[in-house]
Structure 1
Amino acid sequence: MSAVREPLQRAALYAGGFLGPFGGSVVVSMLPEIGADVGVSTGAAATTVTAYLAVFAATMLFSGTLGTRWGRVRTVRSAYAVYAAVSLAAALAPTFSLLLGARMLQGAANAFTTPILLAALAMVTPKDRLGRALGLFGAMQATGQTVAPLVGGLAAETSWRWSFVVLAAAAVVLTVIGLPDSVRDETAGREPARLRDALGPYVLRIGVVALLGNAALGGLNFLLAFRTEDFFGLTSSQRGALLTLFGLAGILTARPVGMLIDRVGARRSLIVGALGGAALVVTIGGASSLVIISVAWFLAGVASQCILVGVNAAVLGGGGGNRGGAVSVVQAFRFGGQAFSPVLLTPVYGAEPFAAFLVPAVLLATVVPIATPRTGPRPS
C-alpha cells in the first residue's frame, strides 16, 4: 500500500502547485459576468482578484514559518479543507460583499499550502536536480493559470459560480492525499522556525524580483482581457481561450527552464526573463493584430517561467535558515504584486490603455537587473 501511496503523495506536491494561480486567476475572464450578476461594475468586480491575492500574499509573510512550527502535513491538510469549504461559500454567495469575504478566506487558506509545498519539494530533491523539480512545480502552477481563465470563461457562459465548485473539488482531493511520509520526519527534532531567519537582505531582494516578475507579466492577464474585449470584441470564452496561451507556454517550458537553471544559474535566468518580458509586454499593449498579441502573450509565458522558477531556485538553493519561511516571504511578494496590479493599473488603463502596459514593462526592465543578487546569502 505504501508503495502506491508515496508516489501519489509526491505527485500531490506538484499538483498542489496549481491551486494558487488557479484560484487567483479563475475570475479574470468573467469579471463582466460577475459584476452583472451581483450588481457592481466590472472595475469593482476586479477587486475579487485583489481580495484573494492580497490576503494570500500578506498571510504568506508568516505562513511558511507557522506551518513549519505546527507540522507541515497537518497544516497543509487543514488548509486544503478550509479552502474547499470557503470555495463552496463563494459559489453560493448571494451578494458581492459575501463573495469578497469568501475570496479573502480562500487566499488565507491557500497561503498555508504553497510555500510549504515548495519547501517540502526542496527537502526530497537532490540539490543538483532542484531546478528541474522546481521547473515541474512551475509547470503545474502554469497549468493552474492556464486552466483558470478557460474554466472561468466557459463557466460564465452558464454561471460563473461553477468555477468555484471545481476549486472545492480539487481541494478535497488534495486534502485526502496529503504530503509524502518522508516530509513528516523533517519537522522533528529541530529548533522552532523563526521569521527573522527568513527576512534577510538576500531574501527581500529576491522578493522584489518575484513581485515585479508576477505583477508585470502573468499579473497583466486582466489587462489583456480588458483590451481584447474593448478593441477586438472577444466574448468571455474567447478571452479565456486567449489567456490560456500564457499558461500553455509555462506548461511546455517550465521544466526545460529549470534544467537550464541547473546549468547556468538562477541570476542569468532572471535577467533574461525580465528583459525579454518587458519587450513582450510593450508589444501586447501596442500591437493592432490579434495574432501578434497572441504570439507575444505565449512568449511572455516563457519569460515568466524564467523569472518564477528562477526566484524559487535562488531562495531554496541558497541555503540559510528557515527555508520554508524564506520561500514563504518570496511568494508573498510574488502574489502581492499580482494582487495589486488590478487596483493600480485599471485606472491607468481607463485613462490611456497603452500606458497601463508601458509602466510595468519599464519597471521590469530596469528594477529586476538591479535587484537580483549576484551571490547567495551567508550561511546561517
Structure 2
Amino acid sequence: MSEGRRASLRVAALYAGGFLGPFGGGVVASMLPEIGGDLGVSTGTASSSLTAYLLPFAAVMLVSGTLGARWGRVRTVRWAYALYAVSSLACALAPTLGLLLGARAVQGVANSFTTPLLLAALAAVTPRERLGRVLGTFGACQAAGQTSAPLVGGLSAELDWRLSFVVLAVVSVALGAAGLPGEVDDDRAAERGEPAGRLRDALTLPVLRVATVAFLGWGALGGLSFLVAFRGEDTFGLTAAQRGLLLTVFGVAGILTARRAGGLIDRWGARRTIVLAAPVGAAAVLVAGTVDVLLVVALVWAAAGVASQMILVGVNTAVLGSAGANRGGAVSVVQSFRFFGAAAAPLALTPLYAVHPHVAFVVPALLLGIAAPLLVLRGTRR
C-alpha cells in the first residue's frame, strides 16, 4: 500500500474514532429496560450506566490531552483503544450491575484519552486555513455517533443488548491497529526527548474562557434534550418513539451542517462565528421551551443543533488553531468542560422545570445568549 493511501486511511480512522466515542457513551440509552431486566434491577437503576461512563470521561479529560502528549500521542491512543476494547468485552460479559458500571467507567476513561488526541492529530496534519472544515467533519462524525447510538442500541437489544458491546470491542481494535497520521514524526519527537506540554500551559485564562463557552454551549443546547423530551410528553402528549424522533432532529441538523459551519469558521474566524451562533442558539432554546406548536418546536430544535455545531467546532478551532505550547491539553480541557456542561444541566434545570417549565428554558437561554458572547469578546480584546 502506498504511503499516501495509508495516510488517508489513518485520517479516516480519526473520523471513525470521533464517531465511536459518543456512540459508546449513548448506546445504552434505548436498552435500559433490557439491561435492567437481565441484571435484575429497575430501569431507573440501570440508567446509572450512563452516568458511570460520562463522569469519569469528563473528569479524566481535564488532564488526558496533556498526559497523552507526554507519553506519546500514538502510543497513548493505541493503548486507549485496547483498554476500550477490553472494557467493552467486560460490559458484554458483566453478570451484575456493579461489574457493568465498573466496566462502563473504564470505557469512559479510555475514551477520554482518544477524543482530544484525535483532535490534536487532525490539527497537526491540517493547514490552518482548512482547520475549521476538517474539525467540522469530525464534529459531524461525533454528532452521527450520538444520534445513531439509541437507534442501534435499540435494534441490538431486540436480539441481545450485550452484542452492541462486542461490536464496540471489535471496532476499537481495528481503529487501534490503523494508527494515526504523522505517527513517525510523533515517535521521532519522543526519541529526541522534545519537551511535552505541561498542564499549566493548557489551564491558561484564554483556554478557560473558551472552555466556559463550551460548557455553556453544550449544557444549554445538547444538554437540554431531556427538557425537550419532558415538554414533548407534558405539553404535546408524545409517545416515547415520537419524543425520540423530535430529539433526533437536533443531531441530524448538526450532522448535515457541521462541515459548512467549519467553512464559515475558516472564513470568518472561530470567535466571530461563536458570537453569532450563541444568540441564535439561545433564541432557539427560548422558542422550544415556550411555544406550544409542535412543528415550531421541531424546527427550532433543529436550528439549535446547527448553532451547537457552530459553537463546538468554533471552540475546538479556537484552541487548536492557536500557537499555544500544549494544544492537545488545551482541547482536552475544552472537551472536558463541554461534557461537564451536559452532566450539570439535568441537575441544575430539573428543579427549575418543576417550579415552571418555561423557567428551565429561559435561564440557560439567557446564559448562552449573553455570557458566551461576552466571554469570547473579552478574550478577543486581550
Both proteins in one fold, TM over 0.5: yes
Structure-2 residue corresponding to 1:326: 330
Deviation by residue 1:18-76 (Cα, 9 ceiling, x = unmatched): 12222233334455665566565665554433322221111111111111111111111
Q: What's the TM-score once normalised by structure 1's chain length?
A: 0.89
**What one-letter code is carried by the residue in structure 1 that aligns with 2:122?**
L
Structure-2 residue corresponding to 1:126: 127
Cα distance in 2, alignment partners of residues 137 and 250 from structure 1: 11
Q: 1:367–1:375: structure 2 CA closer, same or farther, 3 Å change rule?
A: closer
Give the superposition deviation at 1:89: 2.4
Q: 1:217 aligns with which of 216, 221, 233?
A: 221
Q: 1:300–1:194: structure 2 CA closer, same or farther, 3 Å change rule?
A: same
Whether the aligned pair in 2 keeps the contact of 1:60 and 1:111 (CA below 8 Å) is: yes
Q: Is residue 2:52 matched to residue 1:60?
A: no
Matches within 5 A, 1:50-199: 50-156=51-157, 160-180=161-181, 182-186=182-186, 188=189, 189=192, 190-199=194-203
Matches within 5 A, 1:199-278: 199-232=203-236, 234-278=238-282
Cα distance in 2, alignment partners of residues 176 and 105 from structure 1: 20
Whether the aligned pair in 1 keeps the contact of 2:53 and 2:108 (CA below 8 Å) is: yes
**What one-letter code is carried by the residue in structure 2 that aligns with 1:97?**
G
SS state at 2:113 partner: coil
Structure-2 residue corresponding to 1:309: 313
Cα distance in 2, alignment partners of residues 364 and 38 from structure 1: 40
Cα distance in 1, alignment partners of residues 322 and 287 from structure 2: 35
Give the superposition deviation at 1:223: 3.0
Give the superposition deviation at 1:260: 0.7
Q: 1:35–1:208: structure 2 CA closer, same or farther, 3 Å change rule?
A: farther
Runs of at least 4 residues off by over 6 Å? none
Q: Across the two proteins, how many residue pairs are aligned to each other?
A: 377
Q: 1:12–1:346: structure 2 CA closer, same or farther, 3 Å change rule?
A: same
Q: Unpaired segments of 5 or more residues in structure 1?
A: none
Point out the more displaced range, 86-95 or 260-269.
Answer: 86-95
Structure-2 residue corresponding to 1:19: 20
Q: Is residue 2:356 matched to residue 1:355?
A: no
Give the superposition deviation at 1:367: 1.6
Cα distance in 1, alignment partners of residues 236 and 83 from structure 2: 40
Give the superposition deviation at 1:173: 2.3
Q: Is residue 2:339 matched to residue 1:335?
A: yes
Deviation by residue 1:137-178 (Cα, 9 ceiling, x = unmatched): 111111112212322344455554444344333323212212
Q: What's the TM-score once normalised by structure 2's chain length?
A: 0.89
Seq. identity, %: 64
Whether the aligned pair in 2 keeps the contact of 1:270 and 1:310 (CA below 8 Å) is: yes
Whether the aligned pair in 2 keeps the contact of 1:29 and 1:225 (CA below 8 Å) is: no
Cα distance in 1, alignment partners of residues 361 and 36 from structure 2: 24
Q: 1:133–1:376: structure 2 CA closer, same or farther, 3 Å change rule?
A: farther
Q: 1:243–1:38: structure 2 CA closer, same or farther, 3 Å change rule?
A: farther
Whether the aligned pair in 2 keeps the contact of 1:202 and 1:377 (CA below 8 Å) is: no
Whether the aligned pair in 1 keeps the contact of 2:72 and 2:186 (CA below 8 Å) is: no
Give the superposition deviation at 1:245: 1.8
Cα distance in 1, alignment partners of residues 355 and 367 from structure 2: 19
Give the superposition deviation at 1:209: 0.4
Q: 1:64–1:254: structure 2 CA closer, same or farther, 3 Å change rule?
A: same
Cα distance in 1, alignment partners of residues 321 and 6 from structure 2: 28
Whether the aligned pair in 1 keeps the contact of 2:209 and 2:379 (CA below 8 Å) is: no
